[in-house]
């Protein structure tokens, strides 16, 4: 484990995550249409509701896997197999407790299914088959698949993602075939639990292959838990952080509805869907570096850690700027052509959405290092962030409507994520003067704004952008032209930054080009 390249693993994680992201997106686009067409919108709604219900039961897990991942970084770097076995045993013990809690809660909840689905055309027995199929699939993660956290902490998340996507792809394709030819609801649901079991078997085999020395014993986990009190401490801290994220994600649609109307909620939801997919794309690319940062920090070489931070900082800044600028450029004409000009929001609202997108993507670099250092004990921060989110949204929303509601996440992010969190990281982790963050951050914002204006001016001079919303052909053509100009400008400017050049040197093709 120790001798393997972090860079190589990070790049492999990013590549696999990116491929799987687009594969899942493509499959979801076709299968959803097929399921609705052959099984009906009501059945698709039923399965979605059952999954949402069970999603609430899984809230009991919040913080455990994150805490275990962090505690594993050091023994993985040291190659301490004994300690890894002990920590994984503790993890298995904790997950078994959570599994039994979810099982008990699921059984109790099942008695209320007739009340939850009082007016459905489906027989009650079919609803129960669906419920327990999804419940069984969820429980496999707690009783069997818990060891996959070791793969993630060891920067082998590409194995988890790759096998999972392969199994899910086969499953949904079979479900699609059965939907077309047999239209069987029961077989559709049976495939859920069947392929969950197949995935568990494949993952268990792979873990045994990669870590033949792994001999975790869940029965010893209870006593070993006392040996690692820091695990319980980190779980409590991360639980509060996760709850804060959950409160904010659930508050947004409620606040939009409170100060606008249901049609505006739907219109805003269209924009939010697009932005969410773009943010997810970025996470898919950069998520592969998370464990690498944790393992790097385990070495304790502060200069190397700071250099890596600067590299990831400018790379995030560059990508955030490109994605946000392209989104601001084409999202309005895209929505206009996609569902109609009557569903277009004002440019002020679009601007606020894009600012939030930029800040959401950019924050990832600090989040990575805060996690890598184990800086979770500021439990007041997510609670304060949630309070600011709601208060600012209510106050500003009552005055300015939808633009005011969108001020909530911006205010909370600026105060907690961009003022407090960098101070916390720089003072307690990186041990670097705090003002450096703001010098770097404000410089990147200035570059992002300047390059968007320059790219738009060049595009408008070379091409007629007034026709961009008239047809898909104009949108694609002008969008690609603008994106190309934007990327070239960013590449030229960011080559002036030493951390960006250092990052590019990690790629063989860049070293060859320089020669």
Could you give the angle at the alpha carbon of 98 between the alpha carbons of 93 and 103, nearest 5°? Answer: 125
Q: How many residues does the chain have?
A: 515
How many angstroms separate the CA atoms of 506 and 8, rounded? 9
Q: Is 226 helix (H, G, I), strand (E, B) or coil?
A: helix
Could you give the angle at the alpha carbon of 50 between the alpha carbons of 46 and 55, nearest 5°? Answer: 145
The DSSP string of 293-326 is: HHHHHHHT-HHHHHHHHHHHHHHHHHHHHHHHHH
Residue 193 contacts residue 136 (beta carbons within 8 Å): yes
Tokens for 109?
Answer: 């909840």
| Strand spans (E) along 382-421 | none
Give the chain's end-to-end CA distance (angstroms, integer).
Answer: 32
Residue 2 has φ and ψ, to the nearest 5°, of -65, -35
Closest C-alpha to 264, from 137, 162, 402? 402
How many angstroms separate the CA atoms of 259 and 102, rounded? 36
**pLDDT confidence of residue 484:** 94
How many angstroms separate the CA atoms of 239 and 198, rounded? 31
pTM of the predicted structure, to 2 decimals: 0.80
DSSP 8-state assignment for residue 467: G
How many angstroms separate the CA atoms of 254 and 231, rounded? 35
The DSSP string of 440-473 is: HHHHHHHHHHHHHHHHHHHHHHHS-GGGTTT-HH
Tokens for 218?
Answer: 């869940």
| pLDDT tens, per residue, the chain with 515 residues | 544 566 677 767 777 777 877 777 777 667 766 777 778 777 877 787 787 677 767 766 667 877 888 888 888 888 888 888 888 888 888 888 888 988 998 899 889 888 888 777 788 888 899 889 989 988 888 888 788 888 877 878 788 878 888 888 888 888 888 888 888 888 888 888 899 899 889 988 888 888 888 887 888 888 888 888 888 888 888 888 888 877 777 677 778 877 777 677 777 877 887 888 778 777 767 766 776 787 788 888 889 999 999 999 999 999 999 999 999 998 989 888 877 788 888 999 999 999 999 999 999 899 999 988 989 899 999 999 999 999 999 999 888 888 998 888 899 999 999 999 999 999 999 999 999 999 999 999 999 999 999 999 998 888 877 778 778 888 888 889 999 999 999 999 999 999 999 888 876 644 545 55
The contacts of residue 22 (CB under 8 Å, 6+ apart) are: none
How many angstroms separate the CA atoms of 300 and 298, rounded? 5
How many angstroms separate the CA atoms of 492 and 498, rounded? 13
Could you give the angle at the alpha carbon of 252 between the alpha carbons of 17 and 380, nearest 5°? Answer: 85
Q: Is 130 helix (H, G, I), strand (E, B) or coil?
A: helix
Q: How many CB atoms lie within 10 A of CB 143?
A: 16
> From the centroid of its chain, how far is CA 238?
16
Closest C-alpha to 100, from 218, 228, 239? 218
Residue 463 contacts residue 481 (beta carbons within 8 Å): yes
How many angstroms separate the CA atoms of 116 and 435, rounded? 54
Tokens for 458?
Answer: 């060049």
Q: How many CB atoms lie within 10 A of CB 236?
A: 14
Q: How many CB atoms lie within 10 A of CB 468?
A: 23
**pLDDT confidence of residue 512:** 46
How many angstroms separate the CA atoms of 263 and 257, rounded? 9
Q: How many CA atoms lie within 13 A of 245 on its CB side?
A: 10
Residue 129 has φ and ψ, to the nearest 5°, of -60, -45
Tokens for 67?
Answer: 């805490």
Closest C-alpha to 87, from 77, 76, 103? 76
DSSP 8-state assignment for residue 288: G
Q: How many CB atoms lie within 10 A of CB 132?
A: 17
């Amino acid at each position: 484990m120790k001798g393997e390249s972090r860079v190589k693993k990070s790049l492999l994680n990013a590549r696999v995550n990116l491929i799987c992201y687009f594969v899942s997106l493509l499959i979801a686009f076709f299968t959803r249409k097929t399921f609705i067409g052959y099984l009906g919108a009501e059945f698709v709604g039923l399965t979605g509701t059952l999954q949402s219900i069970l999603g609430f039961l899984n809230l009991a897990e919040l913080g455990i896997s994150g805490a275990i991942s962090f505690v594993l970084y050091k023994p993985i770097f040291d190659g301490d197999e004994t300690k890894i076995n002990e920590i994984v045993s503790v993890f298995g013990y904790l997950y078994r407790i959570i599994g039994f809690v979810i099982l008990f809660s699921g059984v109790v909840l099942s008695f209320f299914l007739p009340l939850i689905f009082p007016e459905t055309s489906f027989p009650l027995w079919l609803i129960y088959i669906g419920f327990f199929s999804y419940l069984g699939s969820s429980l496999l993660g707690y009783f069997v698949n818990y060891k996959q956290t070791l793969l993630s902490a060891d920067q082998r998340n590409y194995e988890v993602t790759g096998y999972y996507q392969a199994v899910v792809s086969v499953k949904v394709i079979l479900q699609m075939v059965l939907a077309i030819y047999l239209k069987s609801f029961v077989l559709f649901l049976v495939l859920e639990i069947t392929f969950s079991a197949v995935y568990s078997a494949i993952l268990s085999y792979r873990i045994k292959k990669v870590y033949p020395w792994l001999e975790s014993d869940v029965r010893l986990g209870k006593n070993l838990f006392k040996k690692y009190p820091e695990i319980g401490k980190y779980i409590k801290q991360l639980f509060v952080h996760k709850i804060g994220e959950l409160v904010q994600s659930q508050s947004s649609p409620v606040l939009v509805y409170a100060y606008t109307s249901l049609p505006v909620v739907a219109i805003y939801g269209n924009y939010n869907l697009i932005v969410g997919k773009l943010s997810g794309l970025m996470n898919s690319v950069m998520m592969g570096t998370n464990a690498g940062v944790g393992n790097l920090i385990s070495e304790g070489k502060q200069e190397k850690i700071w250099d890596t931070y600067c590299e990831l900082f400018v790379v995030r800044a560059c990508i955030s700027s490109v994605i946000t600028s392209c989104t601001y450029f084409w999202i309005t004409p895209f929505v206009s052509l996609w569902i109609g000009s009557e569903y277009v929001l004002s440019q002020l609202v679009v601007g606020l959405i894009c600012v939030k997108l930029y800040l959401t993507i950019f924050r990832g670099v600090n989040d990575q290092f805060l996690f890598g250092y184990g800086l979770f004990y500021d439990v007041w921060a997510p609670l304060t962030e949630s309070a600011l989110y709601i208060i600012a949204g209510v106050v500003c929303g009552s005055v300015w409507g939808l633009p005011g509601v969108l001020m909530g996440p911006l205010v909370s992010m600026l105060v907690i994520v961009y003022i407090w969190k960098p101070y916390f990281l720089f003072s307690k982790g990186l041990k670097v003067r705090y003002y450096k963050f703001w010098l770097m951050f404000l410089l990147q914002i200035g570059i992002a704004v300047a390059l968007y204006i320059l790219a738009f001016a060049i595009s408008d001079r070379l091409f007629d952008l007034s026709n961009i919303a008239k047809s898909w052909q104009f949108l694609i053509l002008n969008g690609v032209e603008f994106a190309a100009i934007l990327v070239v400008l960013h590449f030229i400017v960011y080559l002036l930054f030493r951390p960006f050049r250092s990052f590019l040197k990690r790629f063989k093709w860049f070293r060859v080009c320089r020669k």
